[in-house]
Amino acid sequence: MISRLLLLGAAGDLAGRFLLPSLAWLEAAGALPADLQVVAAGAQDGDDAGFRASVAARWDTAAPDLPAAARAAALARLRYRRFDADDPASVAAAAGAFTGTGPVAAYLALPPALFPATLRGLGSAGLPPGSRVAVEKPFGADLAGAVALNGLLAEVSRGDERAVTRVDHFLAMPAVTGLLDRRAAGELGPAEDGRTVAGVEVVWQETLGLEGRADFYDRTGAVRDVLQNHLLQVLVALALEPPAAAADLPAARSAVLRSLRLASADPAACTRRARYTAGTLADGTAVPDYADEEGVAPARCTETHAEVVLALDVPRWAGTRFGVRTGKAVGTARKGVAVRFRDADRDPLWISLEPAAQGPGADGAPGELAAYRAVLTDVLTGGSATSVGAEEAELAWRVVDPALKGWAAGAVPLLENRAGSAGPPPLDPGAPRG
């Protein structure tokens, strides 16, 4: 297990809400190396004491049930360094801020736009043999960006794909990992194919607005934030040919993505995009038009709602309609998979993806933190269960790229939906709604 963790972007939302609390839960489980060092690097000025104090304050809400001893031990591991992603020397200095020698696990908890410069800096630094690099989604902004990013990762890892983790924490969520078990139990029907299943829709509807993430979200949008990565992975888990061994899962996922496409050559016929306007969220918070939110550039026409209808060109699923839908600032949260059967007497099946419905992890960490606990374990040990392969990342972009190009060309109008409402009407009124 690697005992030197470099967390780049340590003052950001991802690190504060998920990575650092998950690290503390690993501490509580006794799952960290006794000599683990954590260098937390951020763009702001600061020192060890100040950073530890800010992390401790955030844990009061992000990890209130964390045992006191584990909290203190995890905080003591943290050292803070300022770094500039655009300065190779600064990146190299952060990577070299450890005592002793040995491999480094470098985790890029950064906005995707900073990945290329940071990876070049790590490449210039020359990470020690056995090091690993982890990047968060989205992997690029389109297919061309994913190909370029994979090239940089290959350079930094010296061509060793085992030294790269393209993180998708959905791969560690019990509701997602359990989909194959539910299929084995016959919940999709004895045939488990297009003869039994009429439609499948993956839904991720949030009542939250931007929550202070305008700079990231406005440059990303609903497709790149969750649909192209997390939600396609859920769909793939429902549609793949169950492999004989876990090691064959990446190949099985790639096979589905290779056969997945938009249901029509016309993006206007099979995709929908929208953004919310002024309204009141479920908790009573009034929000302005998305275009008027602080930090938003209205000319980007960033979508907060996205829906695509897909076809899967494999004999097993002939005639089955697949859909993926996500939205922010809706009136009622709904996160899960709805399956509609051809037998009209059979009720639709709803599989919840709500983190709260998944219960705590084995170490007591809440559901979503338990997923990131698995991510960090993989990064430190060289595991691959929470990682997307290079080919998978590119194939997922191949699926949605035609939609994004159509949107950029103005072929699909940007609709509006009031914050706190149910969102835009569905593309297919007969699709399963959960």
Can you give the residue ranges of every domain in the chain?
4-167, 170-361+393-418
Does 170-361+393-418 match 4-167 at the fold level?
no
Looking up tokens 């989604």 gives 137
Tokens coding 83: 């770094």
**pTM of the entire structure?**
0.92
Report the distance separating Cα 38 and Cα 94, nearest Å. Answer: 11
As a CATH number, domain 170-361+393-418 is 3.30.360.10
Q: 45 burial class (0-12, 13-18, 19+ CB within 10 angstroms)?
A: exposed
CB of 316 within 8 A of CB of 252?
no
pLDDT of residue 200: 94
Rg (CA), the chain: 22
DSSP structural state of residue 169: G
Count other C-beta atoms under 10 Å from residue 245's C-beta.
6
pLDDT of residue 322: 96
What does the pLDDT look like over 22-79, one tens digit per residue?
999 999 999 999 999 999 999 999 999 999 999 999 999 888 889 999 999 999 999 9
Q: What is the pairing mode between strands 260-262 and 305-312?
A: antiparallel
CA distances from 212 to 111, 294, 309, 336 (A): 14, 9, 30, 25
As a CATH number, domain 4-167 is 3.40.50.720
CA distances from 36 to 79, 93, 125, 234 (A): 12, 19, 21, 34
Report the distance separating Cα 24 and Cα 120, nearest Å. Answer: 30
- Local confidence pLDDT in tens for the 434 residues of the chain: 999 999 999 999 899 999 999 999 999 999 999 999 999 999 999 999 999 999 999 999 888 889 999 999 999 999 999 999 999 999 999 999 999 999 999 999 998 899 999 999 999 999 999 999 999 999 999 999 999 999 999 999 999 999 999 999 999 998 888 888 888 787 776 667 899 999 999 999 999 999 888 988 999 999 999 999 999 999 999 999 888 888 899 999 999 999 999 999 999 999 999 999 999 998 999 999 999 999 999 999 999 999 999 999 999 999 999 999 999 999 999 999 999 999 999 999 999 998 654 444 444 445 678 899 999 999 999 999 999 999 999 999 999 999 999 999 999 999 999 999 999 988 875 554 44
H/E element, 20: helix 20-28
Q: Where are the alpha helices (DSSP H) in 219-366?
A: 221-222, 232-239, 249-259, 267-270
